[in-house]
Chains A and B, each alone.
Chain A
Amino acid sequence: MTVYSATAGQQRWQFEDLKTLLAKATPLRSGDCLAGLAAGSARERVAAQIALADLPLKIFLNEQVIPPEIDEVSRLIVDSHDPVAFAPISHLTVGDFRNWLLSDKATSDSLKQLSPGLTPEMVAAVSKLMRVQDLILVASKCRNETAFRNSLGGKGVLSTRLQPNHPVDDPAGVAASILDGLMYGSGDAVIGINPATDNYAAVTELLKMLDDIIQHYEIPTQSCVLTHVTNQIEAINRGVPIDLVFQSIAGTQAANESFGINLALLAEANQAARELNRGSVGNNVMYFETGQGSALSANAHHGVDQQTCEVRAYGVARHFDPLLVNTVVGFIGPEYLYDGKQIIRAGLEDHFCGKLLGLPMGCDICYTNHAEADQDDMDMLLTQMAVAGINFIMGIPGGDDIMLNYQTTSFHDALYIREVLGLRSAPEFEHWLQQVGITQPSGKLAARMPEQFSGLLKAL
């Protein structure tokens, strides 16, 4: 195994293998400290970045951070690498690759062609050398468009997942949040519920309810109930209406096993949902969620830093052509991302890395009440993410998830950033909002609720 080193002044640092080098080069975060993988000093961190910058990208094809013999994610990464796509940058070091990405050579088109030639570890490596503005600039060049009942990820489009969670899945309580969201123009990425339990009967009721609402009002969007993938396969087999199949995924086989999944199961779910052909303008059917720290949390990280593990999860995701990939960045808690600063950097890294690997990245811009973060931190991340061209964010009444007990972006937040940056909803959904009178022809919200909906309230 190669030893990597860097010298600064009189001091020389050595890094015993690739995963150690990657870990030590990672900007400070509590999860790597918890795992005992973080650099021991600020100077050691920069020394690792200097050593990493000198590393030829080809090394990542020869040395795997987790042996393929024991990890199917590594096997997927090795087996799916496209050497032809890699050719244009195959002579570069990691440091040169950063320069290349920032240069005019990296365009929307050239980045799209390059994507299959990149491994998750290459992308993780270059992100560790980048400042926030680099992460934003390069990501903003990527355009990863997907479609189901509407078209997501187009230029100037920022979509939202309407997340109408309720502590006991009460149908009227869920409906109240859906109505609130629709009246604020939310829900073009998906209307997606985190159910209070994995109870099959309850999950089925929610699936039917969402499908009925979408069909009744002819809303050009898709539904999802975020239960375990095995529940959704069973639902498909029993004829329950499923638009998108959700699953949390991670970047190692062992972490995925802790979620009760493997690649074969994801493939089975993807195929089953695609065969339903429920999309009207596209057939991307998977909705994945990820987040730094999940592998460590399952004690399944193999000594690999949490950001590299996260990008490996994107290596899993891209294999299944998802409609949506959502990094739930601040949900995991302060033991992995301690404060607003760490959450913001991690979110931008995730978005950049996912975009470079070709994924339709969104972000649950969020924090928990035991993290050192607040609404101001979320405003900063939201603004930066939108400048970076994020595909979608969450939308929840007042930003307060009363079921999952954390704070994410509100319906108002999405409108704020659309107004500041001139962004819009998915075109089909935008058309629907105007048609039913939720928005005015100018695109601004109407002052009054459309009669179609206010009539419902009178009947209550």
Chain B
Amino acid sequence: MNELKKIDSDTVTENSWASLRRYTDARIAQGRSGVSLPTQALLAFQMDHASARDAVHIALQTEPLIEALKTAGYDSLVLQSRANDRSEYLQRPDLGRRLNQQAVATLEAYRQQHSEPVQVSLVIADGLSSMAVQSHAAAVAAAVLSRLESRGLSIGPVAIVTQGRVAVGDEVGERLGAQLLILLVGERPGLSSPDSLGIYYTYQPKVGLTDVRRNCISNVRPAGMSIDAASEKLLWLIDESMRLGCSGVALKDQSVSSAGVDSHKNFLLP
């Protein structure tokens, strides 16, 4: 959030609790003119909205992502959903949930060339924020996959899906014959968080599953949930799901810790 400039006016009632901004990015203590938002705060909001609007329409650059994954030791495939461009993607979620013909062919060719079974498939979809994917999907993928490898699980190629929605991961997982599907996706950009990544997990993925079969870890970004905390939580979910043979609503997240998150005490109570 932009810093609000000092307002030199006796018509604006300022708020004395601006110091609480150290605990949250929320737009607290903005003051008021009458009961309304002061001019500086209004314009700061308008600029942030303009930025988020612009961010939705920036295309994912796949080359740097492929390079970053390669550096971390992972091969990748670039696929596309059935949505041809951003405009179609925004209006036709059904198309963003399925792979196009070329993507299907790419996955079939991969399976013919690789006979060993794939236990884990990790998919990266641009979703609604290519910025989130561009800036930290590779790091999240590496953190998650290295932990899974240390458990002795076999990992398929990382699939990068452009114009992709959450459910497209299940199709990739099914076509690779994977038992576990992890999907990283750019979440709806917020005014203060255009770079938020979501992680979705499905046990035994297949086309047509709904959210009831998925577990979600949201808001993974430098100023939100850290990569380590998200990875630990995901691994807990994966271990539990392999023990119980399910994912989604049937799998309650009862992991105790929020590792890596520095939490501050509620100051409203003694």
Q: Which residues of A contact B (CB under 8 A)?
A: 30, 34, 164-180, 183-184, 196-202, 209, 212-213, 216-217, 228, 230-231, 234, 257-260, 297-299, 333-335, 338, 368-370, 374-375, 396-407, 410, 412, 415-416, 418-419, 445, 447-449, 453-454, 456-457, 459-460
Nearest residue (CB) in A for B220 is A167
User: Do the beta carbons of B263 and A370 come within 8 Å of each other?
Assistant: no
Does B268 interact with chain A (Cβ within 8 Å)?
A: yes
Chain A contacts for B147, CB-based, 8 A = none
User: Do the beta carbons of A172 and B266 come within 8 Å of each other?
Assistant: yes
Chain B contacts for A397, CB-based, 8 A = 26-28, 30
Q: How far is the CA of A170 from the CA of B196 in the complex (A)?
A: 17
Mark out the residues of chain B between 25 and 83 whose CB falls within 8 Å of any chain A CB in the assembled complex.
25-30, 32, 34-37, 41, 45-46, 48-49, 52-53, 55-56
User: Do the beta carbons of B94 and A34 come within 8 Å of each other?
Assistant: yes
Chain A contacts for B216, CB-based, 8 A = 197
Chain B contacts for A169, CB-based, 8 A = 258
Select which of A234, A260, A370 is within 8 A of B90 by beta carbon: A370
On whether A374 and B49 interact (CB within 8 A), knowing A407-B191, A456-B267, the answer reads: yes
Chain A contacts for B17, CB-based, 8 A = 176, 179-180, 183, 449, 453-454, 457
13 additional A-B pairs beyond A34-B92, A370-B56, A405-B189, beta carbons within 8 Å, are A164-B26, A167-B25, A170-B263, A171-B263, A176-B28, A179-B268, A183-B15, A200-B252, A213-B269, A297-B93, A402-B24, A405-B193, A406-B188
Chain A contacts for B263, CB-based, 8 A = 168, 170-172
Does B264 interact with chain A (Cβ within 8 Å)?
A: yes
Q: Is the interface of B mostly helix, strand, loop or mixed?
A: loop
Q: How far is the CA of A449 from the CA of B28 in the complex (A)?
A: 14
Chain B contacts for A180, CB-based, 8 A = 15, 17, 20, 26, 28-29
Chain A contacts for B46, CB-based, 8 A = 375
Query: How near does chain A come to B55, taking the closest CB pair, in angstroms?
Result: 8
Q: How far is the CA of A415 from the CA of B13 in the complex (A)?
A: 14
Q: Which residues of B contact A (CB under 8 A)?
A: 13, 15-17, 19-21, 23-30, 32, 34-37, 41, 45-46, 48-49, 52-53, 55-56, 90-94, 128, 187-193, 196, 210-212, 216-219, 223-225, 233, 248-249, 252-256, 258, 261, 263-270
Query: How near does chain B come to A132, taking the closest CB pair, in angstroms?
Result: 25
Chain A contacts for B189, CB-based, 8 A = 369-370, 405
Chain A contacts for B48, CB-based, 8 A = 400
Nearest residue (CB) in A for B209 is A258
Chain B contacts for A419, CB-based, 8 A = 34-35
Chain B contacts for A164, CB-based, 8 A = 26
Query: How near does chain B come to A38, taking the closest CB pair, in angstroms?
Result: 13
User: Do the beta carbons of B190 and A401 come within 8 Å of each other?
Assistant: yes
User: Do the beta carbons of A402 and B26 come within 8 Å of each other?
Assistant: yes
Select which of B210, B248, B265, B266 is within 8 A of A298 by beta carbon: B210
Q: How far is the CA of A460 from the CA of B21 in the complex (A)?
A: 12
Chain B contacts for A406, CB-based, 8 A = 188, 190
User: Do the beta carbons of A398 and B41 come within 8 Å of each other?
Assistant: yes
User: Do the beta carbons of B27 and A398 come within 8 Å of each other?
Assistant: yes
Select which of A209, A217, A457 is within 8 A of B266 by beta carbon: A209
Chain A contacts for B94, CB-based, 8 A = 34
Chain A contacts for B41, CB-based, 8 A = 398
Chain B contacts for A412, CB-based, 8 A = 30, 32, 35-37
Q: Which 9 A-B pairs have the closest CB atoms?
A: A398-B27, A405-B190, A172-B264, A415-B35, A260-B249, A173-B24, A176-B20, A180-B28, A171-B266
User: Do the beta carbons of A260 and B15 come within 8 Å of each other?
Assistant: no
Q: How far is the CA of A128 from the CA of B266 in the complex (A)?
A: 48
On whether A407 and B49 interact (CB within 8 A), knowing A173-B24, A183-B17, A399-B27, the answer reads: yes
Chain B contacts for A418, CB-based, 8 A = 35
User: Do the beta carbons of B53 and A167 come within 8 Å of each other?
Assistant: no
User: Do the beta carbons of B212 and A259 come within 8 Å of each other?
Assistant: yes
Q: How far is the CA of A456 from the CA of B189 in the complex (A)?
A: 34
Chain A contacts for B212, CB-based, 8 A = 257-260
Chain B contacts for A172, CB-based, 8 A = 20, 23-24, 263-267
Q: How far is the CA of A217 from the CA of B210 in the complex (A)?
A: 42
Nearest residue (CB) in A for B96 is A335
List, sorted by A's number, 17 A–B pairs whose CB atoms are closer than 8 Å.
A164-B26, A170-B24, A172-B24, A173-B264, A176-B26, A180-B29, A199-B233, A258-B210, A260-B248, A368-B188, A375-B49, A398-B28, A402-B26, A404-B190, A405-B188, A406-B190, A412-B32
Select which of B27, B188, B248 is within 8 A of A369 by beta carbon: B188
Chain A contacts for B187, CB-based, 8 A = 405
Chain B contacts for A177, CB-based, 8 A = 24, 26, 28
Nearest residue (CB) in A for B229 is A168
Q: How far is the CA of A334 from the CA of B223 in the complex (A)?
A: 27
Chain A contacts for B264, CB-based, 8 A = 170-173
Q: How far is the CA of A334 from the CA of B91 in the complex (A)?
A: 7
Q: Interface centre among B187, B210, B216, by most A CB within 10 Å?
A: B210
Select which of A170, A333, A445, A460 is within 8 A of B35 by beta carbon: A445
Chain B contacts for A199, CB-based, 8 A = 233, 253-255, 258
